[in-house]
Amino acid sequence: MKYLNFLFAKEHRMEIIRIGIVGLASILFWMQILPFPALLVAIGFGVYSLIKTAVLELIHERKIGTELFISIAVIIGILGQEYLAAAIVLMIILIAEYIASVNTETTRASIQDLIGTIPTTTIVYRNNKETTVKIEEVRIGDLTLARTGERILVDGVVIKGTATINQAPITGENTPQEKNEDDTVYAGTIVTSGAINIQVTKLVQDTVFARIIKLVEDAEQNQAPIEKLTDKIASYLIPIVFLFVIGVYLYTRDVKMVIAVLIFTSPAELGLATPLVTISGVARAAKEGILIKGGLYLEELAKVDTFVFDKTGTLTSGIPSVHSVISYDKKYTEKEVLAFAAAADRRSSHPIAKTIVAFAMQQKVSVAEPTQFIVVHGRGVRATVKGKTVLVGNKEFFSENNIPISQEISQTTIFIAVDNSLIGAITISDTIRPEAKKAIELLRTSGVKHFYMLTGDNEKSAQTVAQAIGISEWKANLLPEEKIDYIKTLQKQGRMVAMVGDGINDAPALAQANIGLAIGASGTQAAMDVADIVLVDDNLLKIARAKAISKRSYRTIKENLFVGVGVVHVIGIILVLSHIIGPVEAAAIHLVPDVAVLLNSVKLLRVKIE
């Protein structure tokens, strides 16, 4: 029913009228009811749109498409007095163009259905009153309500209530997520149960949902290399084709054969082979929470043979946690070591300091208030706690204060000294993402040969993470510019490199790599800006999923080119030159690759991709 609606939509009425007039005129002329001038007028009416499109493409885009070929075929038919053949060929080609147009609209509608739609108005609370406003008029700070069965219309924070949210349209997660106060919610997601009040944090055009839609709509702008290649092939083939057609006419003097050859040598499928695949592939990825910024990156990812990963915030959660508390002095228990460290760090805003204080609270350790407090940036803190001078910081900090450390450091370690005497240490770990190892295994199975981890962290910490997830090569203590140099070295070796990072501190490396993948775009505008591919959530398995979708898309393009352009056209030309088929049969057969290419491209939206 939906397809019928597209067939008879208002925008297609003129196409239907053209087909009807040319078809009816052809039948009446064949029955010798309609005079030749009337047939000529009908042909002119039908071919006008093709000629107009052909001329505009030639002038504005310097592109020679199927419209020009068919227009020339019709004109040659009339000049060669093959009036009926020209009319029938024109009618069939108009039908083909009509079907292609309807299928394209259907594809775009399927993509919209796949991603979802947002209502145009919403209710917000202003001055303690409910006000219905257009979604474009929603302001940051506005309060809105989302209830069971409703789609959330804004990116925001829950300020009241609880709800179960289906986030599949944004993150691709199949399992609904529980949302409580202070949790983030996204436009485009659906409340499956409960009700929540949401405070708007982003304008509608800046929401993750809006960015997903824009990426899908703009998918054709960044042409894939294979798409550019098809354009070049078409530009080189066209002069050869016209010379070939002229040669066929000079040798055979057969106008019908020339018309048929022109039909089979038109570059229609070259134009169809890649754009729909690009749109479908990008839309499919977007549905699964993977934002690909265009066909260029869709194809390039399929060719990647080397993955480079950042560590902190990428392979690990990026959230520090206390791994262990160690006492080096028998006078102090582990709890007392922790108490001194937490007291000294109590006023610090450093993430590790906050982690130590929070851990002390969890362990129900009494944390005193320091009477003096000094931060030494990049080193640690100096504080006075219960009349004692307490130093908490890294090995360099202690070395600068002439406090020797002989202990082996296996990971991030914070040392504690009281009155210039080392009393203990706290080891800090960054939790490895549970799916990290599986993601590496899946990428290796997909054909990726080389894996590297580049980090600014220390050697021992880097080794622990790399070995745990199956990466055999890593580099530690790297500055951002050193990461870029390392990627350049890999590229000079002929590698196709994908860099995976958090999209902020790894921005230079993401830009240098052939493909930059940023994770966690739902809260990071910088990630959306710098990366070629963005994972909406922090699930590393989506990297392997993106790779699978890109490989399937690239394969689909090659199928389109081989079948739609290669097999059908070559066989068609052979049949024409062998006098087996004429222009009418050629025009009818011409429908087959058009429809095949369209269906093969659109299936990317639904087909199962392993």
User: 411, 407, 414: which is closest to 430 by C-alpha?
Assistant: 411
Long-range contacts of 348-352 (CB under 8 A, 24+ apart): 348/373, 348/375, 348/381, 350/375, 351/320, 352/320, 352/412, 352/414, 352/428
pLDDT for position 32: 87
Which listed residue (310, 430, 538, 594) is catalytic? 310
For residues 157 and 183, is the Cβ–Cβ distance under 8 A? yes
- Residue 3: predicted pLDDT: 46
Per residue in 305-332, pLDDT tens?
999 998 877 898 877 888 889 999 989 9
48, 274, 595 from 255: Cα distances, Å: 22, 33, 27
Residues with Cβ within 8 Å of 378's Cβ and at least 6 positions away in sequence, in order, are none
What pLDDT, on a 0 to 100 scale, did the predictor assign at position 106?
Answer: 62
Q: Kindly tell me the burial class for residue 456, based on how many C-beta atoms sit within 10 Å of its own C-beta (0-12, 13-18, 19 or more).
A: middle
3-state secondary structure 514-561: CEEEEECHHHCHHHHHHCCEEECCCCCHHHHHHHHHHHHHHHHHHHHH
Answering whether pTM is above 0.75, one says: no
Widest distance between CA atoms in the chain: 115
Cα–Cα separations (whole angstroms), residue 292 to 9, 211, 288, 547, 610: 31, 11, 11, 11, 19
3-class SS of residue 66: helix
Could you identify the residue written with the tokens 């390039």?
300
The verdict on whether 142 is a catalytic residue reads no
CB 198 within 8 A of CB 144: yes
**Contact in structure between 356 and 383 (CB atoms under 8 Å):** no
Q: How far apart are CA 404 and CA 38, in angstroms?
A: 103
Domains and CATH numbers, the chain: 121-215 (2.70.150.10), 290-316+432-549 (3.40.50.1000), 318-431 (3.40.1110.10)
Q: Which amino acid is at 431?
A: T
Identify the segments of the chain with pLDDT beneath 70: 1-11, 61-66, 96, 99-100, 102-119, 168-175, 208, 211-238, 266-273, 408-411, 503-505, 521-529, 564-566
Cα dihedral 485, 489, 494, 500 sign: negative
CA distances for 1 relative to 5, 8, 73, 106, 583, angstroms: 6, 11, 36, 12, 34
| CA-wise closest residue to 570 among 591, 593, 588 | 593
Half-sphere exposure at residue 340, Cβ-oriented, CA atoms within 13 angstroms:
30
* Listed residue (338, 212, 393) closest to 403, CA to CA: 393
The alpha carbon of 153 is separated from its chain's Cα centroid by a whole number of angstroms, namely: 22
The stretches of 378-506 forming alpha helices (DSSP H) are 395-400, 436-445, 459-469, 480-492
Q: Measured between alpha carbons, how far is 38 from 34 in angstroms, rounded to an integer?
A: 7
pLDDT score recorded for residue 73: 76
CA distance 119 to 152: 10
Q: Is the dihedral of CA 337, 340, 346, 349 positive or negative?
A: negative
